[in-house]
Structures are given as structure tokens and as C-alpha cells.
């Protein structure tokens, strides 16, 4: 098929390692990357900067107009560009994540972002990271992966990441926030977080990043 563009989706809860694995996979395959959580975070940032309340979903959906996001992979990781401005550290703040999870519950917001997410299907292939990549946004994906890790492991990973950035948050607070976000993401009526039919399931709680990447590559290499 001349125009066929393969898609790998990696879904999972917050801090499951899907962002890191998606980045490394996209880099190794030399494919495009979609960090869909970053799009929700960008909207949260824009809402915050424009003092728009979380339940004003019409104004928030309007903020998606003219939104031009790109994900650049470099040695340090991922750089998120919004209209050519680096917003990586701003959108990674905990308050943006919490607000993003709230906005993600509105149909209007999800529909507006759906179109933007589909525009990332570009040759030679796409690695898409999120909560509903395999279930809703890219149901046609060639390979769907669901990446999990237990709450304690995820809280410790996040704690380490934040500490490296000089941000001090208590571990019990982080663990509680992660659990609350999980409950919101898994139980919302629209596009809840769940494994897509036919997806590969991988629990990374006891695996290093390179072991997880190896396993994901095994799934991918079996099919591509
Ligand atoms: O992956 P993340 O933590 O950057 O995502 C931030 C929030 O965005 C997450 O709590 C829920 C929402 N989200 C979503 O609803 N659907 C996606 N595909 C990606 C993220």
C-alpha cells in the first residue's frame, strides 16, 4: 500500500513510563511522536494564562484554534513547542497535569483535540502516547500497547523526576494525587483509560527503562 502509515499506540496511566518508552521508540524507529497528554496540558496552560475556568469548556475548546504543537526529540528528551515557543517545563508542572485531567472530561475538548491528534499521522510512521490512543483516536493502529505500573512505583518515579528538577513534593502527597488522577481517568464516561481490544499488556513495575523498551520492541518487531 503506497500511502500506508503504520501507527503504534502506547496507552497507560500517569507515570507508567509510557512517555519515556514512546519517545525512545519513536527515536529508534525514526518515526513521528504524538504526546497527547502534552496537548491536554497545553490547553490547561492556555486556560490558566487566560483565566478561563475549567468548566467553561466552550472557551477552552476555542483555545484549540490555531494551536500548533510539535514534539522535538533531542538528547535530553522531549521538547514541546507551542507555536514555536518552548513550553516543556511550564506544562510539566503538577497543576497543569491536574487541570488537564479535569478538562479531559469534556466532550467538546476531546473532540477539538481529536482532529489535532489525527493530523500527526505522517510518514514514515507514528508513535502515539496517551490514554485513548488505541481505543478512540487511532483504532486502526497496527500495534496497541497498554503499559502499567503499580501506584507506589509510579509515585517514586515521579518523585525522583521532580527532585531532579529541584521540585520538592512529599511522596504520600504524590501517591495520593496519582491515585486521584487514575480514578478520574479510568472512570470518566468519555474515553476512559482502559486497554484497547487486542492490545499487548505490559507491567513495568519491576522492569528498568531499557528492559521495558526491549519488550515493547519485541512486540513491534514481531509485526512490522
Ligand atoms: O499523560 P499526561 O499525564 O501528560 O496527561 C495529562 C492528562 O491529560 C491526564 O491526566 C488525562 C488527560 N489525557 C487524556 O484524557 N487523554 C489522553 N489521550 C492523554 C491525556
Residue 98: which domain range? 7-209
**Is 100's C-beta closer than 6 angstroms to any atom of ligand 1?**
yes
Query: Does residue 216 lie within any of the structural domains?
Result: no
Q: Rounded to the nearest whole angstrom, what is the distance from the C-alpha of residue 101 to the centroid of ligand 1? A: 6
Query: Does residue 214 lie within any of the structural domains?
Result: no
Query: Does residue 223 lie within any of the structural domains?
Result: no
Q: Regarding predicted confidence, which is higher, 156 or 164?
A: 156
CATH number for position 26: 3.40.50.300
Residue ID of nearest Cα to ligand 1 atom 15? 104
Question: DSSP E strands: which ranges in the chain?
Answer: 7-11, 32-35, 69-74, 77-82, 85-86, 126-130, 143-148, 200-203
Query: Does residue 42 lie within any of the structural domains?
Result: yes
| pLDDT mean over 101-107 | 89
CA atoms within 13 A on the CB side of 87: 22
| pLDDT mean over 62-74 | 87
User: Residue 120's pLDDT is what?
Assistant: 96
Query: Does residue 66 lie within any of the structural domains?
Result: yes
Query: Does residue 141 lie within any of the structural domains?
Result: yes
Give 45's pLDDT tier (boundaries 50, 70, 90): very high
Res. 19: pLDDT tops 90:
yes
Query: Does residue 203 lie within any of the structural domains?
Result: yes
Res. 36: pLDDT tops 70:
yes
Q: Rounded to the nearest whole angstrom, what is the distance from the C-alpha of residue 6 to the centroid of ligand 1? A: 23
181-218 pLDDT, tens per residue? 899 889 989 999 999 999 999 999 999 999 999 999 99
User: Residue 80's pLDDT is what?
Assistant: 94
Res. 176: pLDDT tops 70:
yes
Give 2's pLDDT tier (boundaries 50, 70, 90): low
Res. 221: pLDDT tops 80:
yes
Res. 177: pLDDT tops 70:
yes
| pLDDT mean over 129-133 | 96
What is the average pLDDT score of the chain? Answer: 92
Res. 75: pLDDT tops 80:
no
Which of these ranges, 33-37, 46-50, 166-170, has the smallest mean pLDDT? 166-170
C-alpha 71/C-alpha 64 separation (Å) is 17
Give 61's pLDDT tier (boundaries 50, 70, 90): confident
Ligand 1, residues 22, 100, 134, 155: which to mutate, most atoms within 8 A of Cβ? 100
Q: Are 17 and 214 in contact (CB under 8 A)?
A: no
User: Residue 162's pLDDT is what?
Assistant: 84
C-alpha cell at 91: 506544562
C-alpha 21/C-alpha 148 separation (Å) is 12
C-alpha 110/C-alpha 121 separation (Å) is 18
User: Residue 224's pLDDT is what?
Assistant: 80
C-alpha 52/C-alpha 152 separation (Å) is 34
The total number of structural domains in the chain stands at 1
Res. 88: pLDDT tops 80:
yes
User: Residue 173's pLDDT is what?
Assistant: 93
**Is 12's C-beta closer than 6 angstroms to any atom of ligand 1?**
no
Query: Does residue 122 lie within any of the structural domains?
Result: yes
**Is 41's C-beta closer than 6 angstroms to any atom of ligand 1?**
yes
Amino acid at each position: 500500500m503506497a500511502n500506508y502509515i503504520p501507527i503504534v499506540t502506547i496507552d497507560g496511566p500517569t507515570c507508567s513510563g509510557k512517555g519515556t518508552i514512546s519517545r525512545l521508540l519513536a527515536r529508534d524507529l525514526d518515526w513521528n511522536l504524538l504526546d497527547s497528554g502534552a496537548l491536554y496540558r497545553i490547553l490547561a496552560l492556555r486556560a490558566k494564562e487566560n483565566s478561563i475556568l475549567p468548566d467553561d469548556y466552550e472557551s477552552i475548546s476555542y483555545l484549540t484554534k490555531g494551536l500548533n504543537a510539535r514534539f522535538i526529540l533531542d538528547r535530553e528528551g522531549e521538547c514541546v513547542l507551542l507555536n514555536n515557543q518552548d513550553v516543556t517545563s511550564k506544562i510539566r508542572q503538577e497543576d497543569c497535569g491536574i487541570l488537564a485531567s479535569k478538562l479531559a472530561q469534556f466532550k467538546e475538548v476531546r473532540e477539538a483535540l481529536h482532529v489535532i491528534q489525527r493530523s500527526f499521522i505522517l510518514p514514515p510512521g507514528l508513535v502515539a502516547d496517551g490514554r485513548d490512543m488505541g481505543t478512540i483516536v487511532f483504532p486502526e493502529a497496527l500495534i496497541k500497547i497498554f503499559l502499567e505500573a503499580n501506584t507506589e512505583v509510579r509515585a517514586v518515579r515521579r518523585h525522583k523526576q521532580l527532585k531532579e528538577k529541584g521540585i520538592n513534593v512529599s511522596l504520600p502527597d504524590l501517591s495520593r494525587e496519582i491515585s486521584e488522577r487514575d480514578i478520574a481517568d479510568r472512570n470518566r464516561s468519555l474515553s476512559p483509560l482502559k486497554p484497547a481490544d487486542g492490545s499487548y499488556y505490559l507491567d513495568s513495575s519491576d522492569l528498568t527503562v531499557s528492559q521495558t523498551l526491549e519488550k515493547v520492541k519485541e512486540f513491534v518487531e514481531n509485526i512490522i
